[in-house]
Amino acid sequence: MKEIPISSHEFLRRSRSRKKLRETIVLVAKFFVMVLLALFLLFPYIFMVSKSLMNLVDANAPTPMLFPKSGVYFSNYKIFLEYWTYFQNSLIVVLINGIFIPLTGFMAAYPFARRNFKGKNAMFMIMMSTVMLPGAVVMVPTYVMFNAFGLVDNLASQWVTAFFGGGAMNIFLMIQFLRAIPRDYDNAATIDGANMFQIFLYIMLPMCKNVLLFIGISTVIGRWSDFQGPLIYLTTLEKMTIAVAFYKQFSSSGAAAIFSNAKMAMAVCMTFLPMALYLIFQKQMIGGIKIGGLKG
């Protein structure tokens, strides 16, 4: 029995159908894997939110449960009001650091990236060499210096360094971003009569808003959850930030230790600020910075 010849049009149609089927199978498989990965990563947070809505009996049950059995208790979130003073302390710290670290870092980066002066390379090498110093090495000298200036047990110890650029890596990131901007902008502004300060303020600063925003948000998120700094330099409970105050009050072996639902409710509250910043500025944080080129 002879096979019926297939026309070229029918052959192309079948080839496209098979290709489309393969692509659909691969897409469904990728989607399935991504859903499993998302559930795996989100499970701890889902468990934390669920436990924050339980009553004391369900939260301390011998067998862990994923969902509340005795109803949902939003009243657990009233605990945040007890931490209002510490929330204000944290808000002061993150606002000052989130605003002034990008600005002062940009002031330090601008001369390195756009100006020539004597000793520029040596100063840049000294600045970048500080990256190699472990944090534990400078911890004791920093504490001694802060103690000499009366900054120990003072909230200012958490934001005073914001006026010094925020570290070599932040300055280096801004330098690289500034170097990617063509010199034609400086030359055109100079021809129009702009001085160095005007070029810095009206041309460079607006063009670098993405990198400034990225560093500012990263700083806010880092300072919001910072534990080591406030733990070392702050001793009075009323002056502590929310992360350390939360640890101090719930790490004891007293009655507060059994309120795991309240602990989880407070932990959920701690995630609101970083989550809101990421959801609002995710475009700038993920795709807004283009080192090595300008967006047209």
What residue segments make up the domains of the chain, in order of their start?
8-53, 76-292
Classify 76-292 by CATH class.
mainly alpha
For the chain, what's the residue count?
Answer: 296
Closest CA to 65 of 75, 55, 73: 55
Q: What is the pLDDT of residues 117-129, one digit of tens each?
A: 898 999 999 999 9
Token pair recorded at residue 148 = 């000499």
- Integer Cα distance of 84 and 287 in angstroms: 35
What is the sign of the dihedral through the CA atoms of 27, 32, 36 and 38? positive
Q: What is the pLDDT of residues 100-109, one digit of tens each?
A: 999 999 999 9
Cβ within 8 Å of residue 18, ≥6 positions away: none
Within 10 angstroms of residue 94's Cβ, the number of other Cβ atoms is 24
pTM above 0.85, yes or no: no
Token pair recorded at residue 207 = 């063009």
Predicted pLDDT of residue 289:
54
DSSP structural state of residue 6: P
- Integer Cα distance of 218 and 237 in angstroms: 26
218 backbone φψ class: left, alpha, beta (φ>0; ψ -120 to 50): alpha
- Integer Cα distance of 277 and 279 in angstroms: 6
Phi and psi torsions of 133, nearest 5°: -80, 125
- Integer Cα distance of 123 and 172 in angstroms: 12
- Integer Cα distance of 77 and 249 in angstroms: 16
Predicted pLDDT of residue 1:
46
- Integer Cα distance of 278 and 225 in angstroms: 14
Predicted pLDDT of residue 167:
86
Predicted pLDDT of residue 171:
92
Q: Residue written as tokens 């971003």?
A: 177
Task: Decide: 146 and 152 in contact? Cβ < 8 Å.
Answer: yes
Give the residues of the chain that fall short of pLDDT 70.
1-11, 252-257, 286-296
Q: ∠ CA(261), CA(266), CA(272), 5° rounding? A: 130
Q: Residue written as tokens 């004891």?
A: 252
Task: Decide: 70 and 58 in contact? Cβ < 8 Å.
Answer: yes
- Integer Cα distance of 65 and 70 in angstroms: 11
Task: Decide: 166 and 102 in contact? Cβ < 8 Å.
Answer: yes
Rounded to the nearest angstrom, the gap between the alpha carbon of residue 51 and the centroid of all alpha carbons in its chain is: 26
- Integer Cα distance of 3 and 266 in angstroms: 74
